[in-house]
């Protein structure tokens, strides 16, 4: 499917950063363990997200033609000291403004180093949109609050995830993704609450040479059904498959096989 417009990605990054900032300043316990990333506290999660935004912003702003190590990104580690919600909020605001400003100035076609299959600022606009979208979900789930994302953003996040896993499988850069093979096996994702024009259904077919995917309603060995945001979060391993509202029909072990191996590093 065609990705979203560049400005739409920029707007969504700004929106998601704003929502995450609201959680940081709402009194939520910054020391709470993130259940979907159990090695991190909520503050660790926020620092990771803001650091990733600053890194991508620097790459785009400088039109970098090779990777820039994290330690060379000014301010990437976050504010000195821990537990200061106001300082963390101000730093996160600056992080979001830096990447959005760089992306808007560059436009989607500016040549920039990336680790993916395309090498332009448009890659980073899309990647950072879904980076902060999913990590805000981590934060919201930590706080025990409900989470929803715009339907077109959620659908594009699933598209991008499939494109990334396919890329790392083709390039052999992820051993687990390389195992996603199995002639005759197919998975179906079906968002039950999306407007018909969004076509929020996906068929993933595993073959001897890897997997392919396309949008559409087709029969498969296993189907994951539910609200679009919940399907997205389950596909990103942020919600368990038995979460309320989700339904697995058919060979659940095939879906488990996919979820255990779909990654990009």
Does the pLDDT at position 19 exceed 60? yes
Residue 3 is given by DSSP the state P
Q: Are 153 and 133 in contact (CB under 8 A)?
A: yes
The answer to the question of residue 86 being in a domain is: yes
User: Residue 99 and residue 93: Cα distance in Å, rounded?
Assistant: 10
pLDDT tens, residue by residue, 186-211: 999 999 999 999 999 999 999 999 99
Q: What are phi and psi of 202, to 5 degrees?
A: -135, 140
Mean pLDDT of 37-59: 98
Question: Are residues 45 and 136 located together in one domain of the fold?
Answer: yes
Question: Are residues 138 and 165 located together in one domain of the fold?
Answer: no
- If pLDDT is split at 50, 70 and 90, which confidence band does 130 have? very high
Q: Which residue, 133, 160, 168, is CA-closest to 238?
A: 133
* Contacts (Cβ under 8 Å, ≥6 apart) of 255: 187, 222, 224, 241, 248
CATH of the domain at 180: 3.30.1050.10
How are beta strands 185-191 and 222-226 bridged, if at all? parallel
Domain end, chosen from 108, 142, 176, is at 142
Does the pLDDT at position 173 exceed 90? no
Domain end, chosen from 97, 114, 142, is at 142
The answer to the question of residue 149 being in a domain is: no
- Per-residue model confidence (pLDDT) at position 2: 79
The answer to the question of residue 44 being in a domain is: yes
Q: Are 42 and 34 in contact (CB under 8 A)?
A: yes
User: Residue 165 and residue 163: Cα distance in Å, rounded?
Assistant: 6
With pLDDT > 90 as the criterion, what percentage of the chain qualifies? 95
Does the pLDDT at position 51 exceed 90? yes
The total number of structural domains in the chain stands at 2
Question: Are residues 171 and 133 located together in one domain of the fold?
Answer: no
The answer to the question of residue 171 being in a domain is: yes
The answer to the question of residue 253 being in a domain is: yes
- Per-residue model confidence (pLDDT) at position 265: 56
Structural domain of residue 26, as residue ranges?
6-142
CATH of the domain at 26: 1.20.120
- Coil, helix or strand for 208? coil
User: Residue 56 and residue 103: Cα distance in Å, rounded?
Assistant: 9
User: Residue 20 and residue 89: Cα distance in Å, rounded?
Assistant: 9
Question: Are residues 188 and 248 located together in one domain of the fold?
Answer: yes
The answer to the question of residue 152 being in a domain is: no
Helix axes 42-62, 121-142, angle to 10 degrees: 170
Question: Are residues 168 and 137 located together in one domain of the fold?
Answer: no
Mean pLDDT of 3-13: 97
- Per-residue model confidence (pLDDT) at position 165: 95
- If pLDDT is split at 50, 70 and 90, which confidence band does 213 have? very high
Does the pLDDT at position 159 exceed 60? yes
What value does the mean pLDDT of the chain take?
A: 96
The answer to the question of residue 68 being in a domain is: yes
pLDDT tens, residue by residue, 74-122: 999 999 999 999 999 999 999 999 999 999 999 999 999 999 999 999 9
- Coil, helix or strand for 59? helix
Domain end, chosen from 91, 114, 142, is at 142
Question: Are residues 249 and 188 located together in one domain of the fold?
Answer: yes
User: Residue 99 and residue 109: Cα distance in Å, rounded?
Assistant: 16
User: Residue 154 and residue 228: Cα distance in Å, rounded?
Assistant: 7
The answer to the question of residue 151 being in a domain is: no
C-alpha separations of 177 from 45, 213, 219, 261 in Å: 25, 14, 23, 5
Question: Are residues 18 and 96 located together in one domain of the fold?
Answer: yes
Strands of 201-207's sheet, edge to edge? 210-215, 201-207, 185-191, 222-226, 247-250
Does the pLDDT at position 263 exceed 90? no
Q: Which residue, 56, 155, 159, is CA-closest to 115?
A: 56
User: Residue 127 and residue 257: Cα distance in Å, rounded?
Assistant: 25
Question: Are residues 189 and 121 located together in one domain of the fold?
Answer: no
Question: Are residues 138 and 188 located together in one domain of the fold?
Answer: no
DSSP bridge pairs for 120: 111
């Amino acid at each position: 499917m065609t990705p979203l417009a560049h400005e739409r990605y920029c707007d969504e990054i700004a929106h998601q950063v704003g929502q995450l900032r609201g959680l940081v300043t709402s009194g939520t316990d910054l020391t709470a363990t993130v259940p979907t990333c159990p090695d991190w506290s909520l503050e660790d999660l926020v620092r990771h997200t803001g650091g990733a935004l600053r890194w991508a912003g620097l790459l785009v702003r400088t039109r970098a033609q090779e990777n820039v190590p994290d330690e060379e990104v000014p301010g990437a580690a976050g504010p000195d000291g821990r537990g200061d919600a106001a300082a963390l909020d101000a730093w996160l605001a600056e992080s979001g403004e830096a990447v959005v400003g760089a992306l808007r100035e560059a436009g989607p076609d500016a040549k920039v180093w990336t680790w993916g299959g395309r090498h332009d600022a448009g890659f980073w606009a899309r990647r950072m949109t879904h980076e902060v979208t999913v990590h805000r979900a981590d934060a919201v789930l930590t706080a025990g609050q409900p989470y929803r994302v715009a339907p077109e953003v959620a659908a594009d996040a699933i598209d991008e995830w499939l494109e990334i896993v396919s890329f790392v499988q083709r390039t052999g850069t992820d051993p687990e993704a390389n195992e996603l093979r199995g002639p005759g096996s197919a998975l179906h994702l079906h968002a039950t609450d999306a407007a018909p024009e969004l076509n929020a259904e996906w068929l993933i077919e595993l073959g001897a040479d890897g997997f392919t995917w396309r949008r559409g309603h087709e029969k498969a060995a296993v189907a994951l059904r539910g609200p679009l945001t919940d399907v997205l979060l389950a596909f990103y391993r942020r919600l368990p498959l038995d979460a309320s509202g989700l339904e697995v029909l058919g060979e659940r072990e095939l879906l488990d096989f996919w979820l255990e191996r779909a990654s990009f590093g």
